[in-house]
Amino acid sequence: MTAPSGSDPAGAVFNALADPTRRSLLATIADRPAATATELAASLPITRQAVVKHLAALAEAGLLNSEREGREVRYSVTPAPLSDAVSWMAAVGGQWDERLVELPRRLREPH
């Protein structure tokens, strides 16, 4: 599944990762590629159905690929949307770095 079309793909990633259960699922899948919802639910205090809903949200943000294998669906992480979000954070961080470098000079200026 690919990231939804729109003007803010990083926003979809941040929205999906705002939930701690989803972050945990993504980390688990990164460690155990090709995990199924049943396997993932076995290690969590939530139902398989709840896990499937969280996996759907991650897939909708483009963070997971899914592949049907018989009756099971196996999930793997798609790193590109994470890279896009990291690039966005680096760009914003760079802007703040520039502002912080400028701040002492501005503070010394008379009002």
Q: Residue 49 domain-assigned?
A: yes
Q: Residue 60 domain-assigned?
A: yes
pTM for this one? 0.73
Res 24: pLDDT: 95
**Is there a contact between 83 and 5 (Cβ–Cβ < 8 Å)?**
no
Domain count, the chain: 1
Res 68: pLDDT: 94
Has residue 7 got a pLDDT over 60?
Answer: yes
Tell me the C-alpha distance between 61 and 5, whole Å: 10
Q: Residue 66 domain-assigned?
A: yes
Q: Residue 34 domain-assigned?
A: yes
Structural domain span for residue 58:
9-108
Has residue 88 got a pLDDT over 60?
Answer: yes
For residue 43 the two structure tokens come to: 């290690």
Res 40: pLDDT: 95
CATH number (domain holding residue 22): 1.10.10.10
Q: What CA–CA distances, in Å, run from 49 to 44, 45, 54, 61?
A: 12, 12, 9, 19
Q: Residue 1 domain-assigned?
A: no
Over residues 19-76, the pLDDT tens digits come to: 999 999 999 999 998 999 999 999 899 999 999 999 999 999 999 999 999 999 999 9
Tell me the C-alpha distance between 87 and 90, whole Å: 5
Q: Residue 51 domain-assigned?
A: yes
